[in-house]
Amino acid sequence: MGEQRAKTNKNSERSRALESAHNLVEIHGLKMHFPISEGLFSRVVGYTKAVDDVHFDIRAGETLGLVGESGCGKTTVGRCIVRAYQPTAGKILYNNAIDPGDEPLQQAFTGHNMKPAHTAGSNGVVDLAALSSRELNPYRHEIRMIFQDPYSSLNPRMTVFENITEALKNRGGHSRHDMKERAGYLLKRVGLRPEYMVRYPHAFSGGERQRVGIARALVTNPRLIVADEAVSALDVSVRAQILNLMEELQADFKLTYLFISHDLSVIRHICDRVIVMYVGKVVEIAEGLDIYTAPKHPYTEALMSAVPISNPRQRKRSERIRLQGEVADPSNPPPGCYFHPRCRYAEDRCKTETPLLRDFGNGHFAACHFAEELELRGAVMD
C-alpha cells in the first residue's frame, strides 16, 4: 500500500513538472501520401493517405504514446519526424533552444570525451519538414530512432562497436579511442559488458540486441528518441526489463520519448500522455490515466476493452467490444468520420461530416461529433 502511494505521488510530481515543460516538437497539419502507380509508364492513379492532417505536440521530458491498429499511420508519423520520409505537407517544428542546465549526456559522459549537448546550430524553432538532407544532418543526431526488430535493425556484418558508433564515424571529428570509450560506457549503461563490442550481432539474444540498439540511439547525445514498437518482438519477461531500462535512461539523460506501440498494456506502463490514431488521423489525445478511465471516442473505447486484465476477479467486469468489419482503406477512406462504418454509435451526420479534434479540457481532445453525449467505458484498472 505504501509503495503504491509513493508511486502515485511520484507520478503526480512528474505530471506537474511536464505541464510546465516547453514543447520540444510541434506537429501541424502533417500529411504523408504515398502515390499509387499503374501501367507501363507508372502513371499515378491515386494516393494512400498514410498520415492525413495530423496535429500534436511532444513536451520536453515526457513519454508520449502513439497507439492504434496496424495500418493506422503511427509508424509513418515516427518516420516523418526523424525524416526517414519527406512529408507531403505540414510542419514539424523542432525547438532547438537549450534550457539552462539542460545537458542530458554531458555530465554522464564526464571523462569520456563527450562534446557538449545539442550542437545542431541555432537556438530556436526550426521546421524539420522544410530542410534539405544536408541541412538535416546536425538534427539527425538530436532525434534518434529505436526500431522494432532487433534482429534486422543491426548490420550483421559489423561488430557491435561498429553498429553503435556508425553515426559518430559518419559525422566525423571523433577518434577511434574516443568512440571506444563512449561505446563501452553505453554498453555498460544498458546492461551489457563493454568487452562485447568486438562481437557480432548473431552472438546475442533478441533482448541483448535491443539493448545494443538503445546504446546506438544514445551514442549521439540525443534529445528525442522515437521508439517504434521497441519491445513488441521481445519475450514478456525481457520486455519488462527493457521498459524499466528506458525509464531509467530517460531520468538519467533527460530524454524525451515518442513511444509507438499497438500494446496498450505497455503504453499504460510507460507513457505520460497517449495519442490514438485511426486511418491516418488523430482521434483522441489525453493524459495516460484519463484516456484509460474516461475515453471520449468510440474507437478508443473499443481499444480499451481489449486491454488484458491480470486480476481474474476483475475480468467479469468488462466485456470486449468487437468491432465489425476491417480498418478502412487509406487509399479510399469512407466519407465523413473514417470510423463510422464500424462505430456502434454512428448516426447520419457521421457519414457525411468529418469531426474536428476538439478540446474538452485538461488536455483531453477527441474527434467525435457526440463526445459530450456518449458515456463510454474505459479499461478495467487492476
Which tens digit of pLDDT belongs to each residue from 190-204? 999 999 999 999 999
Query: Is there a contact between 169 and 163 (Cβ–Cβ < 8 Å)?
Result: no
Which tens digit of pLDDT belongs to each residue from 268-309? 889 999 999 999 999 999 998 899 989 999 999 999 887 766
195 vs 209: CA distance, rounded Å: 15
Type of residue at 134: R
pLDDT at position 288, please? 86
Supply the DSSP symbol for 274: E
Grid coordinates standing for 55? 496535429
Query: Is there a contact between 266 and 247 (Cβ–Cβ < 8 Å)?
Result: no
35 vs 240: CA distance, rounded Å: 39
pLDDT at position 2, please? 47
Model confidence, pTM: 0.87
pLDDT higher than threshold 60 for residue 88: yes
Which tens digit of pLDDT belongs to each residue from 359-381? 999 999 999 999 999 988 877 66
pLDDT at position 20, please? 61
Q: Rounded mean pLDDT of the chain?
A: 86
CA distances from 111 to 18, 157, 181 (A): 31, 31, 9
Residues of the chain with CATH 3.40.50.300: 22-271
- 22-271 to CATH, choices 3.30.70.370, 3.40.50.300, 3.40.50.800, 2.40.50.150: 3.40.50.300
67 vs 286: CA distance, rounded Å: 12
pLDDT higher than threshold 80 for residue 13: no
Supply the DSSP symbol for 96: -
